[in-house]
Structure 1
Amino acid sequence: MRLSFAEQIQNANVLLHENEVEKSIENYQEALSVATTPEQKLHLYSVLGRLYQRTKNPELSIEAFENALGLMEWNDQLGTPIDRASILNNIAAIQSEMDKAKAIDHYKKALSIYAEIVQNGESDYGPHLANTQFALAEVFAKKKDYYFAKKYYKEAIKIYESLKDPAYLKLRASAHYQLGNIYTEEFNLFDAKVHYTKAQSLFENLIEDGDYALKPYLAAVLNNLAVTLNSMEEPQKALQFYGMALKAYQELSDLNFDIFQPYVASTFNSLGIVHSEMEDFDKAIQNIGQAVDRYNELADAKPQEYTHYLATGLHNLGLFHFELRNYDKATDYFGQALEIRKELAAKQPEDFDADFCATALNLVELYQSELENKVDFTFKTRALELLADVEKRLGKYGDNLPVIKNMKTDFQHYLDYFTGINEEHLSVHHVLRKVNNLKEEIDETIYPSEKMVFQQEIMNLLEDNFNKYPTIDRLKFELALAHVNMSWLQLRLEEFGDAEETILRAPILESPLLSLSCNLAHSYLLRDDMDKAMALYAELSEKVNDLNESYMEIILKDFETLRRDGIDHAGFKIVAERFK
């Protein structure tokens, strides 16, 4: 015998109370089939809509709610505006994942109902209005329609500010947090910081009052504040907030390792990156090392999720040790990262070929440094092997992505270098680098006698190598320039005859250095050979150097330097007056 309407409702209620949701739905459906009044049907459609929503059956849920709306449209005396707004919100909540445009439409209809009720003086419905505004903002944010998302978040906040219930304080904090995220997306860093800070204060107060479930939200806010402050070029403050976020995530990880340990690793990584940007590579290594330890453990448990993070951490450790010239450690970390990225690229080339090439090119750069430091050609062999692999991988992709285009440029640079480098070029490069270091030593000294020690070393290095490789133009030029600098120091040390000999020994270039002629003129003048000096000064007075400075100006500056060294000569004044 078929049960009555009342019996079906009673059975359904009992089953629902016992959490037999699917069976309760069957009884509610049976009750609906025998319902005799519109009020009964409206109630049952609303109940079924919520139960279908609970059992994750969105299509049937929407159908039930829309049937309820249809009844109210057919009979405007059925239900209340509040009932209609509630159903509209329920439909919109389901559609927010399925059809955002329809969700927005339904939320706006509900919003209109609540707004009218509140305007008519029923302020008790202010929270419903705010919650609908918040939900509408969420959908606009998902659509990346940030103008309206910000509008409705802010309108919701205005209402929440007048409500003291912790539930609304939580929503207010969440609205500020979401506004911070939106302003971050828009790169409006100041406003992002303002809203994150407000969210931080609200979440801290709620947690202090015992709502410990909000700790993950506070940790996220602290992390985002750190990101924002770093983007605002306030790295010290960023480090402070990353430190606070790290402490929060470590406490959460102690309670739920699987969920929050990845955040601990990520925060250590962020701390390392900020320290590296501040060129504090020791602390960068310390923090990235902590991240790598954790990613190593996470990758063992869930390789598909965390192995690429492990590779990135190892790659960064290689970079930081490279900056500190710890070449052995840098080679080791780059090597570990390369092996992992090679395995990842074998399975997912489109996702990880670029990562492999980035590490390979950094390792090639390191091999260049090692080759130049140690003059060991095994580094050339290793580099060319890596470059061959990089060429194959990069060749599969076009130049539409800037990162690929840049790597192709770097690849060609290193290929040209390693293909063309030989013992002769490397030896010369090695010498020229030593020369540059000695030039820096000269710049750091004050007295000519101190400078002369380093200049003599430069001269010896260049002469030895020029004798070995007389056809290399760069060596010839550097040697001629060394004669210029040597002769000038000799003039300042009152070694006028030696200065002339140095000048006359200088190698002859296709485009002779006029500074040699300038120093030769000074040596003639200081040895009272005025005719020869004046002839050279006359030629130089019509010339300019590469910086478009006239040689007459240079000559007069040289006279001032010599006077400061205690060397004066009547000819200085004669030259100055003749070539005004």
Structure 2
Amino acid sequence: MRLSFAEHIQNANVLLHENEVEKSIENYHEALQSATTPEQQLHLNSVLGRLYQRTKKPKKAIEAFTTALDLLERNPSLGSLADKAAILNNIAAIQAESDRAKSIDDYKKALEIYTELVDNGETEFHPHLANTQFALAEVFAKKKEYYFAKKFYKEAIKIYERLQDPAYLRLRASAHYQLGNIYTEEFNLFDAKVQYGKAQQLFEHLIGEGDEALKPYLAAVLNNLAVTFNAMEEPKKAVQYYELALVAYQELSDLNFDIFQPYVASTFNNLGIVHSEMQQLEQAIAYMNQAVDRYNELADVKPEAYTHYLATGLHNLGLFHFELGHMQQANDYFGQALEIRRHLAMAQPMDFDADFCATAMNLVELYQAQLENTLDFGYKSKALALLDEVHIRLQKYGDDLPVIKTMKNDSKHYLEYFSGICEEDLSLHHVLRKVNHLKEQIDETIDLEEKMAFQEEIMHVLDENLKKYPHNDRLQYELVLSHANISWLQLRLQDYQKAEQTIHDAKTFNIPLQSLTCNLAHCHLLQDDLDKALELYLELSQQVNAANEKYSEVIIKDFEILRRDGIEHRGFDLVIERLK
């Protein structure tokens, strides 16, 4: 038996009440077929539009709402302007993803209606006006048309500030949060901080009033404030807000592990990064270990989603330990990250080749440090093997991306270094580093005997290595320089004959050094051989040293130092007069 219009409506209402939405839609359609008046058709198309929205059938929803809108426009007496605005808003909401230009156009039409109603004194439509402005702002934000997005968010906020209902306080908080996101995109950090701060206060108030569903939003605001403060070069405040976000995400994770544990891991990671930027590497390692532990657990369950985050955490641990000089730990973490990234790059080279190469280049840098520290040429072989693999991966890409271009240049530099390095070069590097360290110790003391002890150690180190590599020009030069430095200390210690002997010993290397000549002149002067001294002083007076100082000035400074050491000689003033 065919049901009547009223029976179809009754059945549809019952089914909808029982949450049998699909069956209720069938009955509403049957009722629509039986509808005899435009009022019934308008009402049923509006209901069907909302139900199709609910069941995620956008095309059918738009079709139903458009039919309702056509009925209303053909016969305005069927409903009010507010009814028309509501339908326009529904259509616009559905089109916000599929046709944003049409969505904006319909929202603007609805906005005109609500503005007219409010201007006519119908203040009950203020919430509808604000909600339409909010929705319009969201579509503009999705289109990255930030000027208009900001404009409509701000207009919505002005109205929400006058509304007392907590529901509008929620929307106001969300508008501030979205404004913060826009200012972040525009790198307007101060305004982003202000908007996030307002959102934080509102969300905290609402949560305090019992609206615990807003806790994820508060956690996101705290996280974004941390990001903003870090970008503003205020790392201590960034740490403060990351720690607040961490507590919030940990509480949320206890309630819903699958959704919020990734945020816990990410926040630990971010705390590690900020502490590393502050050179607080022990704290950075502690936080990054926490992140790696969590990404490890997440990767076990969803490897495709979290394995690359695990690799990044391991890579960062390698960097932190490397910076601290923990070579073995750095090597271990880089090695683990490299194996994971190698596996990922095999499956998705376009996505992970660059990550693999980044870790490989860090390992190459570590191998260089280890090679220079230990003189173990096994590190050379390891580095060359990695560089070969990096070259194969990078040659597939052009130089359009700066990161690829940089890695290609670095790879070329290290290839030249490791291909050309030999035992003699490495030994020289090792020796010079030790010599430089001893020179720093000489500069740190004012005691002449201590200076002499360090200088004699330099002489010994250089002498021993010259026995291995007797033709090394750099070693010979450094040894002659060491003779000059020792002879100067011997002069200051008033051991003039030893100083002269040291200078003569240096001549066996046949490397002329002006500082040796200057010290020899001092020896002659202080041993009262004024003629020989003056001859050398005058020879030097027109020359300059490596620092581009005239030797006439250097000689005068030397006399001042000798006088401070308690050495006085009548020839000082005479030489100074002759040098003028």
TM-score (norm 1): 0.96
Aligned 1:232-251 pairs, distance under 5 A? 232-251=232-251
Match of 1:30 in 2: 30
Q: Show structure 2 runs of 5+ residues with no match.
A: none
Aligned 1:339-488 pairs, distance under 5 A? 339-488=339-488
Pick which of 564-573 and 306-315 moved more.
564-573
Q: Give me the whole-angstrom Cα distance separating, in 2, the residues matched to 1:528 and 1:124.
A: 109
Task: Provide closer, same or farther for how the CA distance between residues 134 and 571 of structure 1 changes in structure 2, counting only shifts above 3 A.
Answer: farther
1:488, distance to aligned residue in structure 2 (A): 2.1
Match of 1:554 in 2: 554
Q: Is 2:132 aligned against 1:145?
A: no
1:303, distance to aligned residue in structure 2 (A): 0.5
Contact 1:153 1:175 in 2 (8 A): yes
Task: Provide closer, same or farther for how the CA distance between residues 275 and 507 of structure 1 changes in structure 2, counting only shifts above 3 A.
Answer: farther
Match of 2:256 in 1: 256
Q: Give me the whole-angstrom Cα distance separating, in 1, the residues matched to 2:93 and 2:341.
A: 42
1:58, distance to aligned residue in structure 2 (A): 0.6
Aligned 1:158-173 pairs, distance under 5 A? 158-173=158-173
CA offsets 1:404-430 (integer angstroms, 9 cap, x no match): 111111111211111111221111111
Q: Give me the whole-angstrom Cα distance separating, in 2, the residues matched to 1:434 and 1:541.
A: 34
1:152, distance to aligned residue in structure 2 (A): 1.3
1:449, distance to aligned residue in structure 2 (A): 1.7
SS in 1 for 2:76: coil
SS in 2 for 1:164: coil
Match of 1:308 in 2: 308
Q: Which amino acid aligns with 1:228?
A: T
1:86, distance to aligned residue in structure 2 (A): 1.0
1:433, distance to aligned residue in structure 2 (A): 1.2
Match of 1:185 in 2: 185
Q: Which amino acid aligns with 1:9?
A: I
Aligned 1:514-529 pairs, distance under 5 A? 514-529=514-529
Match of 2:85 in 1: 85
Match of 1:103 in 2: 103
CA offsets 1:64-112 (integer angstroms, 9 cap, x no match): 1112222222223332111111111111111111111111111111112
Task: Provide closer, same or farther for how the CA distance between residues 511 and 86 of structure 1 changes in structure 2, counting only shifts above 3 A.
Answer: farther
Contact 1:85 1:113 in 2 (8 A): yes
Q: Which amino acid aligns with 1:137?
A: A
Match of 1:569 in 2: 569
Q: Which amino acid aligns with 1:25?
A: I
Q: Give me the whole-angstrom Cα distance separating, in 1, the residues matched to 2:337 and 2:510.
A: 50
CA offsets 1:375-417 (integer angstroms, 9 cap, x no match): 1111111111111111111111111111111111111121111
Contact 1:15 1:24 in 2 (8 A): yes
Q: Which amino acid aligns with 2:358?
A: A
Q: Which amino acid aligns with 1:403?
A: V
Q: Is 2:117 aligned against 1:117?
A: yes
Task: Provide closer, same or farther for how the CA distance between residues 510 and 460 of structure 1 changes in structure 2, counting only shifts above 3 A.
Answer: closer
Q: Give me the whole-angstrom Cα distance separating, in 2, the residues matched to 1:100 and 1:365.
A: 50
Contact 1:479 1:507 in 2 (8 A): no
Q: Give me the whole-angstrom Cα distance separating, in 1, the residues matched to 2:174 and 2:100.
A: 21
Q: Which amino acid aligns with 1:489?
A: L
Pick which of 252-261 and 524-533 moved more.
524-533
Q: Which amino acid aligns with 1:460?
A: H
Q: Give me the whole-angstrom Cα distance separating, in 1, the residues matched to 2:508 and 2:212.
A: 82
Q: Give me the whole-angstrom Cα distance separating, in 1, the residues matched to 2:574 and 2:122.
A: 101
Q: Give me the whole-angstrom Cα distance separating, in 2, the residues matched to 1:403 and 1:507.
A: 52
CA offsets 1:282-329 (integer angstroms, 9 cap, x no match): 111111111111111111011000111111111111111111221111
Q: Which amino acid aligns with 1:319?
A: L
Note the aligned Cα RMSD (angstroms).
1.8
1:571, distance to aligned residue in structure 2 (A): 2.7
Contact 1:130 1:156 in 2 (8 A): yes
Match of 1:212 in 2: 212
CA offsets 1:222-272 (integer angstroms, 9 cap, x no match): 111111111112111111111111111111111111111111111111111
Q: Give me the whole-angstrom Cα distance separating, in 1, the residues matched to 2:579 and 2:373.
A: 50
Q: Give me the whole-angstrom Cα distance separating, in 2, the residues matched to 1:548 and 1:115.
A: 79
SS in 1 for 2:549: coil
Could you tell me the percent identity over the aligned residues? 72
Contact 2:480 2:511 in 1 (8 A): no
CA offsets 1:318-374 (integer angstroms, 9 cap, x no match): 111111221111111111111111111111111111111111111111111221222
Match of 2:50 in 1: 50
Match of 1:533 in 2: 533
Task: Provide closer, same or farther for how the CA distance between residues 539 and 137 of structure 1 changes in structure 2, counting only shifts above 3 A.
Answer: farther
1:531, distance to aligned residue in structure 2 (A): 2.4
Q: Give me the whole-angstrom Cα distance separating, in 1, the residues matched to 2:151 and 2:378.
A: 64
Q: Give me the whole-angstrom Cα distance separating, in 2, the residues matched to 1:408 and 1:141.
A: 38
Q: Give me the whole-angstrom Cα distance separating, in 1, the residues matched to 2:101 and 2:490.
A: 84
Q: Give me the whole-angstrom Cα distance separating, in 2, the residues matched to 1:510 and 1:22.
A: 101
Task: Provide closer, same or farther for how the CA distance between residues 199 and 510 of structure 1 changes in structure 2, counting only shifts above 3 A.
Answer: farther
Task: Provide closer, same or farther for how the CA distance between residues 148 and 569 of structure 1 changes in structure 2, counting only shifts above 3 A.
Answer: farther
Match of 2:5 in 1: 5
Q: Which amino acid aligns with 1:87?
A: I
Pick which of 536-545 and 12-21 moved more.
536-545
Match of 1:64 in 2: 64
